[in-house]
Amino acid sequence: MKLSVGLTTLLSFLAVLMVSEINPTSKAIIPVAQAQSLSDNPKCSLSTVKGSYAIQLTGWVGSGANRLPYASSGTFIADGKGYLRGVDTVVLDGAPPVKRTVTATYIVDSNTCTGSAVSPAAGNFDFQIIDNGKQITNISTTPGTTVTGISIRQF
């Protein structure tokens, strides 16, 4: 009896494993709680981007013969209402570092957990919100720049 129950359990497990490999998102083999979380659409809002973040950006500014390497590192505080302020240190083409104050306004698309920020000092960025705002990936949308980076919530 033990052997037949063990064999039946093993065969059932292998069948489930094979089905999940064929269709890994099939809800038929996923526990109910996990299936429900897969069907829920992630929702984000301005308040998802709230708190103190560390940010690092790298890339290039300009094009052709005027293209220069760029790096910056700093912190900012987002108020969860569409405004942020912070400080960073910028190095352009190996020149001495420059500290600056940065302010920006931002919007969030609640259905895609993406957004855009506009800053007079830093330019325009699109971003993707990860893990309920714990991390944010950034890419510059300012013409003449190729800059990407990441922001990580500090607290």
Q: Using an 8 Å Cβ cutoff, are 149 and 138 in contact?
A: yes
pLDDT at 41: 62
Model pTM score: 0.72
Helix (H, G, I), strand (E, B) or coil at 74: strand
Compute the distance between CA of residue 101 and CA of residue 99 in angstroms, rounded to an integer.
Answer: 7
pLDDT at 88: 98
- Greatest Cα-to-Cα distance within the chain, rounded to the nearest angstrom: 79
Residue 30 sits in the same domain as residue 86: no
Residue 138 sits in the same domain as residue 90: yes
Containing structural domain, residue 25: 2-39
Compute the distance between CA of residue 114 and CA of residue 119 in angstroms, rounded to an integer.
Answer: 17
Residue 147 sits in the same domain as residue 73: yes
Nearest by Cα to 55 from 131, 122, 142: 122
pLDDT at 3: 43
pLDDT at 69: 98
For residue range 33-48, list pLDDT tens digits in order. Answer: 433 333 356 689 999 9
For residue range 41-82, list pLDDT tens digits in order. Answer: 668 999 999 999 999 999 999 999 999 999 999 999 999 999
Confidence of residue 30 (pLDDT cuts 50, 70, 90): very low
Residue 24 sits in the same domain as residue 73: no
Residue 34 sits in the same domain as residue 55: no
pLDDT at 42: 65
pLDDT at 49: 98
